[in-house]
Chains A and B, each alone.
Chain A
Amino acid sequence: MELQDLKFQGIKINYLYVCKRKLWLFSKNITFENQSDKVLLGKVLHEYSYPKEDAKEVLIDNLIMIDILSDGAVREVKYSSRMKEADIMQVMYYLYYLKQKGIEKQGIINYPKERRKEILELTPEYEQKVKQALSEIEKITSQVTPPPATKQKICKSCAYFEFCWG
C-alpha cells in the first residue's frame, strides 16, 4: 500500500504513542470512552474553551477533526500535557495531511488548564516520523489479536483500565 493512501483519524496517531493496545481496540470499535469521566472532562473543556473562535471542530474529508482553525493555524486543545509527544504527533499528522492537499499551516497545541501552548512547524524530520507512524498504525491495526496489555502509569486513568486488567 502506498503511504499516500494511508489515512487515519488523528486520534489514532495519538493512541499509537499513548498505548498500542488502545489503538488496536479503538480500531475495532471496542471503545469505552463514552463511560469515562476523564473523557467527559475533555469534552467539556473543548466546549467551553475559546468561545470566541468561529471555526471549531472542523471536519476535513469526513476523516480528521480539527479542534480550531484560526489565524492560519491548526489548533488542538488538550486537557493536560502529560502525553505531549502524542499530542505533537497528532498535530504534525494534521499538518502533513493538509500539506498533501496543498495547504501549509502552522500548528498550535493549547493546554488551557495549564495556560500553556506549543507552536509547531512541520519539519522534514517530523514529516518522516508521521509517515513511519502511519505505516505502524496500519501494521498494528491489521493484526488479528490485540497487543498484550502492558502496565504503565497512565493505565489507572484510562477508560480501558477495567477492560485490560479486570
Chain B
Amino acid sequence: MQKTLYITSNGRLRRKDNTLYFETETEKRSIDIENIEQIHIFGEVDLNTKALNYISQYGIILHFYNYYGFYAGSFMPRKKNVSGDVVVRQALHYLDREKRIFLAYCFVESAVYHMMRNLRERKEAEAFLNAIEDEWENGRFNISSISELMGLEGRVRNIYYSSFNQFLPEDFYMEKREKRPPTNPINALISFGNSLIYSTVLTEIYHTQLDPSISFLHEPSEKRFSLSLDISEIFKPLVVDSVIFKLLNNRQITLEHFDEDLNYCYLNQEGRRIFINELRNKLETTVRHRQLNRNVSYKGYIRLECYKLIKHFIGDQVYSPLKAWW
C-alpha cells in the first residue's frame, strides 16, 4: 500500500540527485519517494520548485497545515486520471434535484449510522442513542430539500456530541461544538481530526476520475473541494471519533497536550504526534471485505467509496454508502 508521511518537525524538503531528503538541523532522512502517496506537513518546512517538480513526477500530494494545525491547503500535481465523461455525468447528478438529494441523503445516512454505531456499545450513552434514533427515524422520510436534510443532520449531530460528556473524561467537557476557532480541547481534537480526514479523502479522490469540486450535500461553492467534505461525513465518526475516544479514555492525550491562545485551543506538537500516530494506525487497520474477499484498510474503504460513486454516475450500480458491518 502507498504510504502517508506526516512531518511534524521543522526542516527542509530537498531533492538531491534522484533522492528526496527531509533535513532538520540535526538529521537528514531520505524519503522513499516511490512508495509515498501523500505528505502532511505540520512543521515549518522550506521547499523549492526543484523539490516540488520532483514530488509531482510521482503524483505525490502535499497537505499543509498552519501553526495551529488548521488545514491550509494542498499542492496537487497535474491530475493524470481525467475522464470528461465521468465529470459530465457527475455534474448531471448535481443539477437534477432528485438525484442530488439521493446522494446527499446517502452521505448523511451513513454518517448517522456510524454515529449510532459509536454509541451502541456505551451504556452511558443509551438515552442519547435512543434520542438520535427517534430524531432520525421521524425526520428522514420527510426530506424535500438539502437544507432540510442539513437541519436534520445538525440536530442529530448535536445530540451525538452532547453524549460525549457521558463517557469522556471530565477534563474534556463539551458545551457545544465550535469550529472556527475551537476554544476548548475536545473541539480542538475534533477539528484537527476532521481536517486530517478531509485531506486524506481528497488524496483518494485525486486518484480517481471524480471531480472534487462537484458535491451534493455541501454546496459546491462552499469550499473548493467540497466533494471531499461530502465523503468525509462517512469517515468522521467511523475513523476520527473512535480515535478520539480511544486516546482520551486511555489517557494517552490529556490537558497537557494542549496550548491555549487568546481564544484558541490547539494541540501542541507532542499532542499532534500522538494523535497522528493513532490516526495513522487506524487508517492502516484492515477489515476483510466481503465481496472482494481481500483485506481492505480504512483508507482503502475511502477509495472504494469513490469507486462506488463513479459507478453510480455512469449508470452501472446505484450508490449505497458504507455502513461498517464489523
Contacts and interface: CB of A to CB of B under 8 A. Distances in A.
Contacts of B85: 28-30
Task: Give the contact-size bracket for chain B.
Answer: 20 to 34
Nearest to A31: B81
A166 B309 CA distance: 11
A163 B83 CA distance: 15
Interface stretch (B62-70, B225-233, B310-318): B310-318
Given A145-B314, A163-B307, A166-B308, A29 B82 contact: yes
Interface in B69-112: 80-86
Contacts of A31: 81
Contacts of B296: 166
Given A28-B85, A29-B84, A162-B304, A145 B291 contact: no
Nearest to A160: B307
Nearest to B311: A163
A162 B303 contact: yes
B83 A29 contact: yes
A33 to B, nearest CB: 10
Contacts of B209: 29-30
Contacts, number: 48
B291 A28 contact: no
A15 B207 CA distance: 22
Nearest to A148: B316
B292 interface: yes
Contacts of B307: 162-163, 166
A31 B209 CA distance: 8
B267 to A, nearest CB: 33
Interface string A96-108: 0000000000000
A165 interface: yes
B207 A30 contact: no
B224 interface: no
B304 A166 contact: yes
A55 B129 CA distance: 69
A124 to B, nearest CB: 37
Nearest to A35: B207
Nearest to B307: A163
A163 B289 CA distance: 13
A70 to B, nearest CB: 31
A165 B83 contact: no
B292 A30 contact: no
Nearest to B2: A35
29 contacts: A28-B83, A28-B86, A29-B82, A29-B83, A29-B84, A29-B209, A30-B85, A30-B86, A30-B310, A30-B314, A31-B81, A32-B81, A34-B80, A34-B81, A144-B315, A145-B314, A145-B316, A146-B314, A162-B292, A162-B300, A162-B303, A162-B304, A163-B307, A163-B311, A165-B291, A165-B292, A166-B289, A166-B292, A166-B307
Interface of B: 80-86, 207, 209, 289, 291-292, 296, 300, 303-304, 307-308, 310-311, 314-316
